[in-house]
Every structure is written in structure tokens, then in C-alpha cells.
Amino acid sequence: MDTPARLSAEELEAARKRTGPIEWREMWLAFSMLAPTVLIVAAVVLLPLAANFWISVKPIGLAELRPPAPIVRERVRGEIAAAGDVIRVEYRVRSSSQDRPVTDVIFNDTLTEGLVPVTIPEECSIDGAAIECRMAELPPRERFTLIFELEATAAYLDAGSPNPRDTEVEATGRSENVLTSFEFTLENFRKVFDAREFWTVLWVSFVYTIGGTAGALLLGLFAAQLLNSSFRGRGILRGLFLFPYVSPVIAVAFTWVFLLDPFSGTVNAILTTTGVTGETINFLGQRGLALTTVIAFEAWRYFPLSFLFILARMQSLSSDLFEAAEMDGASPFQKFFFISLPQLVGIVSTLFLLRFIWTFNKFDDIFLLTGGASGTRTFTVNVYEQAFAISNLGAGAAVAVVIFFVLAIFVFGYFRFGPKEEGM
């Protein structure tokens, strides 16, 4: 049934007559109780998504998240030993923007008691103890220095020679914030799709995602089948199987890096000592092998989730079919392929959907193991490099939008053509 907000007046009346007053009140109660949850989820999911789309069509860098503003630094040159000595106070002014001017620039400071101005820049004025400097426009990347020469009096020495820098400089200016403006561009997407490595990154992302997802499911299926039977110590073994999933990712990733180190790693020491290899292998630094290694890490780390769900489904299967098949002389493999596996299709396909989405969005595993080097650069690593390594926030958001559409197409294809359990 459609939600009441989408029903016309006639449909509302027909629904009211069809359901009756009690059912109608129950329906409205259910919608009213679910509404806060729906609104919160929509806000948590949709607002960041909308912000990402907005940034993806903006010519914005990481440094431009804040509107451009003047930056003023104060320095004092010279020393005062007696009344009549002169010092220089320099105000170094620059713009925080690389490509946008700042207009109506004003900065204020307070003249230290006992100092008398000798020379004042033409942009500035002094009213009592208040220093004010005005500039109509500060061009992008502009840097210059305003110099005051101040003469010390006896009052300055009597006050203990306070440092002129102890007063705080306040600078203001006006400029358009590119993040909130209505200036849009498709340049970010052009850079993403025209990049030489785009199709390589796309290929690596799919190989990593499909390989990691399939490996996690196969290991989970094998572990569930292994621990489905009752034997002593089964509970302890089930707990140990959860270790890769519950351990902190930074701990297990660095453990793998240490074990696979080509110079001091345990794995290479065993391989060379036993004569399996004549020289050490750079598992995380050799192109091709590095991708295989991170796929193996992904499968090992996340198979416990598949193991739990598949084991729970296996234990809910009726034992009558297995007993009948055993009486008919079916082998264990025949019972698995013809009885267990068809009833596990639903949970396995659901796990494949979830693991595919999570793995495609996975960043920390690859970044901790290889940093995206040696042919392991995926879309998520590309987002980090674009947004933070080269400070192109718009291009990073554009890559994130590409990830969204790839996953949206996959999810649509899954629900449209994917396997369905009986009765769905």
C-alpha cells in the first residue's frame, strides 16, 4: 500500500472504508512511530550524499573550504635601550586564496603605550591608540609588508618595555566562498575520466572487490561446513574463527606487513630456509602479487562474517532431508551440493551484495598494507589522493560520485537479475 501522503482524497476514503477505523488508526500509528527513524536515516544518508554531489561540481581545493580572508602576521625589528630609540613593527599581509581576490580588507591593532609613531604607511591611520589599515582589494596570492617606525618614550620604559606583539591583530575582508556560490563546473569529472589511470583503477577496484568478496564467502562457507558438526572444542574453535574480524584493522594489517617483509619477515624466512624459494619475495611491493596479497588479506579478515551467517542458516536446515539422503546412499558431497547449497543461495547472495558494497568502499585495508602502490590503487585510494594528497577536493568528490553510480548500477542489477529465495 502506498503511504498516505501519496494518496488522493478519494483513495484515502476508499482505504478508510476498506480497512476499517481500527486498522486505519493502527496504520497511522505505525507510520507515526516509524517517521522519526526514517527522517534520521534520511538525514544521515542523504545530506552527506547531497553535499558530495555539490562539491563534485565545484572548482574547489582543500584550502578553499573556508572563504578567502586576509592573513596578517606581526614582527618587531630592533631593540629599545633608552628613550628615543626607534623600532620597526612590520605587518606582513597575504591572501589565503590562490585565485580569488579579497575586498574591503581592514585590520586593526593597538598601539603599545609609550610608543610614538614616526612613520605610518599610507594605507593606515592611528586614532589615539587604535591602528587601522584599509585596502580596497587584496589580489590572490598577494604578499606585502606594511612598516611602522615607532619611537620609545620614558613612559614605555617605565611600563617595563612591553612587547608590541602582545596585542592581537584582527583582520577582516569580504570574498565569495566557492563552496556556497552558484559557480559550477564539470572539470572535475573531465579530469577523472581523462586521467590515464582511470580504467586501470576501475579494473583493479573490480578485481579487488570480486576477489575479496568471493574469497570471504568461500572461506566462510568452508568454515561453516567444518564447524556445523558437533565435536569437542567446537565452541572454542568458533571463537577463534572470529579473531580476524574483531581485531583492530591497524593491528592485523601491520602484523601482515611484518610477516611478509622481504628482509626480516617470518614468511620469507620460512620459504628461503626450507628451500621453497631461492630469494625473498616482496609480497606487498611486486606488481600483481601485491594485489593478490591484499585480496587474500581481505578474504581472511572478513570471512568470519560470512561464516556466522552461513552457519546460522545451516543449523536451521531440517535434518529429515539429510537422513533420507543418507538412507539412499548419498555421499557427503552429494548432500552438500543437492540439499545444503540450494537452501543457502538466499543468504549467500545477500552476503555477496553486502560484502561487494563494503569491499568496493574499503580504504583502510589497502592504505595500511600498500598505500595504493604496486598496482593496488582502487577508487577509494584515488579519492584520498585527489582530495588530500594533491588538495583537489572537487576531483576527490567526483571520484566518490563515480563510486556511488557504480554501486547503484550493481545494486539495481542484483535486485533485478539476482537469485531470489523461494517465495520472494
What is the rounded CA–CA span in Å between residue 69 and residue 372?
35
Residue-level pLDDT at 182: 83
Helices 9-56 and 393-417: crossing angle, nearest 10°?
Answer: 140
What is the rounded CA–CA span in Å between residue 275 and residue 270?
8
DSSP string, 250-315: HHHHHHHHHHT-TTT-HHHHHHHHTTS-SS---TTTSTTHHHHHHHHHHHHHHHHHHHHHHHHHHH
Residue-level pLDDT at 18: 59
Whether residue 372 is found in the same domain as residue 329: yes
Residue type, 96: S
Whether 178 and 65 have beta carbons less than 8 Å apart is answered as no
Residue-level pLDDT at 197: 85
Whether residue 202 is found in the same domain as residue 336: yes
CATH number at residue 259: 1.10.3720.10
DSSP string, 358-403: HHHT--HHHHHHTTT-TT---HHHHHHIIIIIS--HHHHHHHHHHH
For residue 95, tell me if it sits in a domain.
yes
Whether residue 146 is found in the same domain as residue 271: no
Whether residue 267 is found in the same domain as residue 349: yes
What is the rounded CA–CA span in Å between residue 211 and residue 149?
70
* Domain end among 174, 205, 230: 174
Residue-level pLDDT at 67: 79
DSSP string, 393-414: HHHHHHHHHHHHHHHHHHHHHH
Whether residue 191 is found in the same domain as residue 302: yes
Residue-level pLDDT at 326: 80
Whether residue 35 is found in the same domain as residue 113: no
For residue 61, tell me if it sits in a domain.
no
Residue 32 structural domain: 4-56
Per the structure, the count of domains in the chain is 3
For residue 422, tell me if it sits in a domain.
no
Instruction: Output the tens digit of pLDDT for each of the chain's 424 residues.
Output: 444 445 566 665 665 555 556 777 777 888 888 888 888 888 888 888 888 899 999 888 777 777 788 899 999 998 888 888 899 999 999 988 877 888 899 989 999 888 999 999 998 999 888 999 999 898 888 888 999 999 999 888 888 888 888 888 899 888 887 888 888 889 889 988 887 888 999 999 999 999 999 999 999 999 998 888 877 888 888 888 899 999 999 999 999 999 999 888 899 999 888 888 888 899 999 899 999 999 999 999 999 999 999 998 988 888 788 878 888 788 888 888 888 888 888 899 999 999 999 999 999 999 999 999 889 999 999 999 888 888 888 889 999 999 999 999 999 998 888 766 554 4
For residue 331, tell me if it sits in a domain.
yes
For residue 181, tell me if it sits in a domain.
no
* Domain end among 144, 174, 204: 174
For residue 424, tell me if it sits in a domain.
no
Residue-level pLDDT at 405: 93
**Backbone angles phi and psi of 122, in degrees to 5:** -65, -20
173, three cell numbers: 575582508
- The CA-based diameter of the chain, rounded to the nearest angstrom, is 113
CATH number at residue 116: 2.60.40.1170
For residue 225, tell me if it sits in a domain.
yes
Whether residue 225 is found in the same domain as residue 342: yes
Whether residue 168 is found in the same domain as residue 83: yes
* Sheet strand arrangement including 143-152: 70-77, 86-95, 143-152, 115-119
Tell me how far the alpha carbon of residue 124 is from its chain's centroid: 46
For residue 234, tell me if it sits in a domain.
yes
* Domain end among 143, 174, 205: 174
Whether residue 279 is found in the same domain as residue 145: no
Whether residue 153 is found in the same domain as residue 260: no
What is the rounded CA–CA span in Å between residue 195 and residue 208?
20
Among residues 387, 410, 411, 409, the alpha carbon closest in space to that of 399 is found at 387
Whether residue 107 is found in the same domain as residue 137: yes
Whether residue 217 is found in the same domain as residue 321: yes
Residue-level pLDDT at 3: 47
